Amino acid sequence: MQAGSPPQDRLFGLKISPITRRRLRNFQANRRGYWSFWIFLVLFLFTLSAEFIANDKPILISYENGLYMPIFQAYPETTFGGEFEIEADYRDPFVQDLIHEKGWIIWPPIPFSYRTINYNLTQSAPSPPTTDNWLGTDDQARDVLARAIYGFRISVLFGLVLTGFSSIIGVTAGAVQGYFGGWTDLLFQRFMEIWSGLPTLYLLIIMASVVQPNFWWLLGIMLLFSWMALVGVVRAEFLRVRNFDYVRAARALGVSDAVIMFRHVLPNAMVASITFLPFVLAGAITTLTSLDFLGFGLPPGSASLGELLKQGKDNLQAPWLGLTGFLAIAIMLTLVVFVGEAVRDAFDPRKLFAGEAPPPETAAETATAAPATGGGA
């Protein structure tokens, strides 16, 4: 770095522009959204390691001076001195006694997976919270806390994947419409009007009667319709920018349409799109929860917050079911919405330079625009 040059802004060792630094500062200024982001990130990372938190298999087994990790590999019962060649049932007292004779076991904090049935209940299922099942069990004697942890993870993963693919398709479609305009834009708009009128729920019901829905089936079906959320935003930005001088200059220089669209115009359109993404994520999570509640979502037995809500509706005498599902979904969506508000503030051009002079890369534009806006008749 030369003497007298300003220090470079960096984030995690990567150089960032002054505008990006101000956006990060505006994001941090929204304390509610900033702390919601970190809480949501911690919860998501926590649920990503759900197999180490709630599982009916031990984390680590020491047997005859050997170490075994049943979470990653299946071991037959004969490995621990048993009689059967099938995978060991580590909740079986007989298998536990065999292991304790020549070693030890480290269990997860919650010794139940989302599909584990507790056969040692003292009351009929759904049973209330106990020291074994901290949030009780559902109507099939499965641990509610374990199902909530796994359900939180699959809801967020479904929302993130659906939002990502929807954004790619929606941004591309909006860019093509806005950049070329004319008949291309007109035909695309008529197609979207017809496509958006198709009954999504009825299509899901028909598909559920033909095939067993799973994560990827639901993702593909929802992707057929969810990509339209960002098309209008990106299309409007491209319609506004396509006649700017720098776009005309690039065309005059022979730059291809693809390069102009995705290298020069798209960065301007992404500002409005990024502020919309957290709300698209919230909508995707709500969609999966609604389908599971109606019975057209993930396969029966899957960890699902919507299915937990349905059980709460069907078992009003067990309020821990509905309250757990409601609180998990409410906390998740509240955090996502608060993060979305902070992202909106970070990219708001009215707040970007509030109380400060523009950075050097925009100072020339500001100085040039001042005489044009301040002149008389």
pLDDT at 309 (0 to 100): 93
Name the strand (E) or helix (H) holding 22: helix 18-29
Name the pLDDT band for 355 (thresholds 50, 70, 90).
low
* DSSP assignment letter at 265: I
pLDDT at 232 (0 to 100): 87
What's the CA gap between 226 and 144, in Å, rounded? Answer: 31
At 290-331, the pLDDT tens digits run 888 988 888 888 888 999 999 999 999 999 999 999 999 999
Locus of tokens 């559902």:
138
Burial status of residue 320 (CB atoms within 10 A of its CB: 0-12, 13-18, 19 or more): buried
Residue 145: pLDDT above 50?
Answer: yes
pLDDT at 241 (0 to 100): 86
Amino acid at site 9: D
Amino acid at site 288: L
The answer to whether the bond into 349 is cis (omega within 30° of 0) is: no
What's the CA gap between 202 and 192, in Å, rounded? Answer: 18
Name the pLDDT band for 237 (thresholds 50, 70, 90).
confident
Taking alpha carbons only, the member of 44, 32, 46 closest to residue 159 is: 44
At 61-99, the pLDDT tens digits run 999 888 999 999 989 988 888 888 888 889 989 999 999
pLDDT at 375 (0 to 100): 43
For the chain, give the number of residues: 377
What's the CA gap between 163 and 38, in Å, rounded? Answer: 20
Residue 4: pLDDT above 60?
Answer: no
Residue 144: pLDDT above 90?
Answer: yes
pLDDT at 181 (0 to 100): 85
Whether residue 241 contacts residue 268, with contact meaning beta carbons closer than 8 Å, is answered with yes
**Residue 117 backbone phi and psi in degrees, to 5:** -95, 130
DSSP per position, 87-153: BP-TTSHHHHHHHHHHEEEE--SB---TT-B-TT-SSPSSPPP-SSSTT-B-TTSBBHHHHHHHHHH
Residue 275: pLDDT above 90?
Answer: no
Q: How many Cβ atoms from other residues are within 10 Å of residue 22's Cβ? A: 19
What's the CA gap between 114 and 155, in Å, rounded? Answer: 14
pLDDT at 146 (0 to 100): 94
pLDDT at 13 (0 to 100): 63
Question: Which of 74-78, 157-161, 169-173, 200-204 is predicted least confidently?
Answer: 200-204
Whether residue 310 contacts residue 317, with contact meaning beta carbons closer than 8 Å, is answered with no
pLDDT at 152 (0 to 100): 94
Residue 363: pLDDT above 60?
Answer: no
What's the CA gap between 231 and 236, in Å, rounded? Answer: 9
pLDDT at 1 (0 to 100): 45
Taking alpha carbons only, the member of 127, 295, 138 closest to residue 146 is: 138
pLDDT at 21 (0 to 100): 83
pLDDT at 2 (0 to 100): 47
What's the CA gap between 60 and 138, in Å, rounded? Answer: 28
What is the Cα 137 distance to its own chain's centre? 27
DSSP per position, 314-366: H-TT-HHHHHHHHHHHHHHHHHHHHHHHHHHHHT-HHHHTTTSPPPHHHHHHH
Is residue 68 classed as helix, strand or coil in its secondary structure? strand
Give percent of the chain with pLDDT exceeding 70: 89
Name the pLDDT band for 40 (thresholds 50, 70, 90).
very high
CA quadruple 349, 353, 358, 361: dihedral sign = negative
Q: What is the mean pLDDT of the chain?
A: 85
What is the Cα 161 distance to its own chain's centre? 7
Query: pLDDT: is 6 or 30 the higher one?
Result: 30
Query: pLDDT: is 307 or 275 the higher one?
Result: 307
Whether residue 127 contacts residue 136, with contact meaning beta carbons closer than 8 Å, is answered with yes
Name the pLDDT band for 59 (thresholds 50, 70, 90).
very high
Is residue 15 classed as helix, strand or coil in its secondary structure? strand
pLDDT at 367 (0 to 100): 44
Residue 112: pLDDT above 90?
Answer: yes
Name the pLDDT band for 364 (thresholds 50, 70, 90).
very low
pLDDT at 12 (0 to 100): 61
Return the top range by mean pLDDT from 172-176, 263-267, 275-279: 172-176
Residue 60: pLDDT above 90?
Answer: yes
Taking alpha carbons only, the member of 154, 128, 155 closest to residue 139 is: 128
Give percent of the chain with pLDDT exceeding 90: 36
Average pLDDT over residues 127-136: 91
Name the pLDDT band for 357 (thresholds 50, 70, 90).
low
In DSSP terms, 61 is beta-bridged to: 68, 105
